[in-house]
Amino acid sequence: MIIVRPFQQDDVRDLTELMSDLGYPTAVDKMLNRMKTINEIQLYATFVAVMDGTVAGMIGARDVYYYEEDGFATQISLLVTKSEYQGRGIATKLIQYVEERAIKNGANCLQLTSGIKPERERAHQFYKARGFKVTGYRFVKKLKT
């Protein structure tokens, strides 16, 4: 059974491991600081999927308001499943949870971005199978800070 619930501060170690599974290794203290900042922003929400008493996945979502029309989209900012739990419905359950929340909150659509890397191709097929469509490009310019 998969239980989806809001992130709790006690989940930080698990989230740190999940970030490594996604290819973004980090330290527990850095992840804790990141999550504290994210949790202070009302438009952001982080949920975890628990299976067999283990945090097996997480999803981060944020509401993005449009300039060009009324309304907003819920953007999935991050989705990851612990490697040993992949293929067991964790990511599907997390997306369903966020989609239900988005509908309840009045969002016009769900959107997400994903890297153009060979290792993301499986994820792209997963998204397409769940009704997502490729609609454009994302351009990024790194800034010196």
CA atoms of 28 and 16, how far apart (whole Å): 6
Question: What CATH number should be reported for the domain whose range is 2-129?
Answer: 3.40.630.30
pLDDT tens-digit map of 66-75: 999 999 999 9
Residue of 33, 87, 99 lying closest to 56 (CA atoms): 87
Domain residue extents for the chain: 2-129
pLDDT tens-digit map of 43-54: 999 999 999 999
Residues 84-106 have a mean pLDDT of 96
Do 113 and 140 meet the contact criterion of CB atoms below 8 Å apart? Answer: no
Please, which residues have CB within 8 angstroms of residue 129's CB and are 6 or more apart in sequence? none
- pLDDT at residue 116 in the model: 83
Q: What share of the chain in percent tops pLDDT 70?
A: 100
Q: What is the DSSP letter of 10?
A: G
Residues β-bridged to residue 76? 61, 112
CA atoms of 88 and 51, how far apart (whole Å): 10
- pLDDT at residue 117 in the model: 82
CA atoms of 35 and 33, how far apart (whole Å): 5
- Other Cβ atoms less than 10 A from the Cβ of 98: the count is 23
Query: Would you state the structure tokens that stand for residue 136, as one six-digit string?
Result: 């454009």
pLDDT tops 90 at residue 136: no
